[in-house]
C-alpha cells in the first residue's frame, strides 16, 4: 500500500461511511465511494460498483452491513489493485470475518478485520478501532497516518470482531442494570438522586 496521497474506497455511505468519508476528505484523502442507495457528492468520487470503487484504491473499506459484506467482497474483487488491501468494518461474527478472509486469501488479497469499538456519530474518524488479520499491521499503519485511533489485535481475522462482541456483552448488561436501577428509583421517588449518584460514580 502506498503511504503518499492515499486513495481509499468506501463501500457504504450511510451513517458511518459518510462520517468517515467527510473526515478522510478533510485529511486530503481521495475517497472513492460506492453505495447503491446513496450518490456521493464531490469532492468524493462517486462510482458505479464495488469493483469500480476499488480501482486505483490503496485500501478498500467495506462499511455496509454484515449481510451485504460477502456480496460486496465478491463484487469488488475484480477491481482490487495488486498492492491494495481489503478491510471489513462491519459488525459481523468472528466466523463471518474468517469466511471473508478466506475468500480474500483465495484471490491473493490481504485482509483486515476492523472492529469499530464505539458509536461513530459525534466521533467520526476518531472513533476507537481494533484490527486483526493478515493485513492488520499495514492497514493500522496507514490509518494511523490519517489520524485514526486503531490498535492491532494479534491473531487471524475475527479476533477483533470477537473482542467487540465481548465488550458489547458487558456494556449492554451495564446499560440494562442502569435502566432497571432508575426504574426502581422512580418507583421509590428518588430517581434524580440515583441518577446524580450514578453520574458521580462514573466520573
Model pLDDT for residues 108-117, shown as the tens digit of each residue: 999 999 999 8
What does the alpha-carbon distance between residue 184 and residue 200 come to, in Å, rounded to a whole number?
19
Asked if 165 contacts 155 with a C-beta cutoff of 8 angstroms, the reply is: no
What does the alpha-carbon distance between residue 155 and residue 162 come to, in Å, rounded to a whole number?
11
pLDDT for 2 beyond 50? no
| Residue written as grid cell 473526515 | 23
> Domain 7-161 is of which CATH architecture?
3-Layer(aba) Sandwich (3.40)
Mean pLDDT score, 133-149: 95
What pLDDT score does 56 carry? 95
Cα–Cα–Cα angle for 97, 73, 31, rounded to 5 degrees:
110
What pLDDT score does 53 carry? 97
Asked if 157 contacts 133 with a C-beta cutoff of 8 angstroms, the reply is: yes
Out of 17-26, 77-86, 107-116, 118-127, pick the least confident: 118-127
What pLDDT score does 1 carry? 46
| pTM of this structure | 0.79
Asked if 93 contacts 44 with a C-beta cutoff of 8 angstroms, the reply is: no
Out of 77-86, 141-150, 176-185, pick the least confident: 176-185
pLDDT for 9 beyond 60? yes
pLDDT for 39 beyond 60? yes
What does the alpha-carbon distance between residue 90 and residue 126 come to, in Å, rounded to a whole number?
17
What pLDDT score does 102 carry? 97
Nine-digit cell string for 199: 453520574
What phi-psi label fits residue 5: left (phi over 0), alpha (psi between -120 and 50 degrees) or beta? left
pLDDT for 172 beyond 60? no
Q: Where does the pLDDT of residue 135 fall: very low under 50, low under 70, confident under 90, or very high at 90 and above?
A: very high
Amino acid at each position: 500500500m502506498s503511504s503518499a496521497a492515499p486513495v481509499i474506497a468506501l463501500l457504504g455511505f450511510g451513517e458511518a461511511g459518510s462520517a468517515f468519508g467527510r473526515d478522510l476528505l478533510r485529511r486530503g484523502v481521495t475517497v472513492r465511494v460506492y453505495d447503491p442507495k446513496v450518490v456521493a457528492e464531490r469532492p468524493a468520487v462517486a462510482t458505479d460498483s464495488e469493483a469500480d470503487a476499488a480501482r486505483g484504491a490503496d485500501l478498500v473499506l467495506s462499511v455496509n452491513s454484515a449481510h451485504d459484506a460477502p456480496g460486496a467482497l465478491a463484487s469488488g474483487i475484480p477491481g482490487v489493485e495488486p498492492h491494495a488491501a481489503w478491510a471489513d468494518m462491519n459488525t459481523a461474527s468472528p466466523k463471518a470475518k474468517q469466511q471473508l478472509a478466506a475468500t480474500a486469501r483465495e484471490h491473493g488479497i490481504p485482509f483486515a478485520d476492523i472492529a469499530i469499538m464505539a458509536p461513530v456519530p459525534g466521533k467520526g474518524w476518531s472513533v476507537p478501532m481494533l484490527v486483526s488479520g493478515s493485513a492488520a499491521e499495514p492497514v493500522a499503519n496507514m490509518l494511523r497516518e490519517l489520524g485514526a485511533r486503531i490498535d492491532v489485535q494479534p491473531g487471524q481475522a475475527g479476533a477483533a470482531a470477537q473482542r467487540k462482541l465481548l465488550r458489547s456483552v458487558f456494556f449492554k448488561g451495564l446499560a440494562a442494570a442502569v435502566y432497571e436501577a432508575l426504574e426502581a428509583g422512580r418507583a421509590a421517588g428518588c430517581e434524580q438522586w440515583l441518577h446524580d449518584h450514578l453520574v458521580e460514580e462514573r466520573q
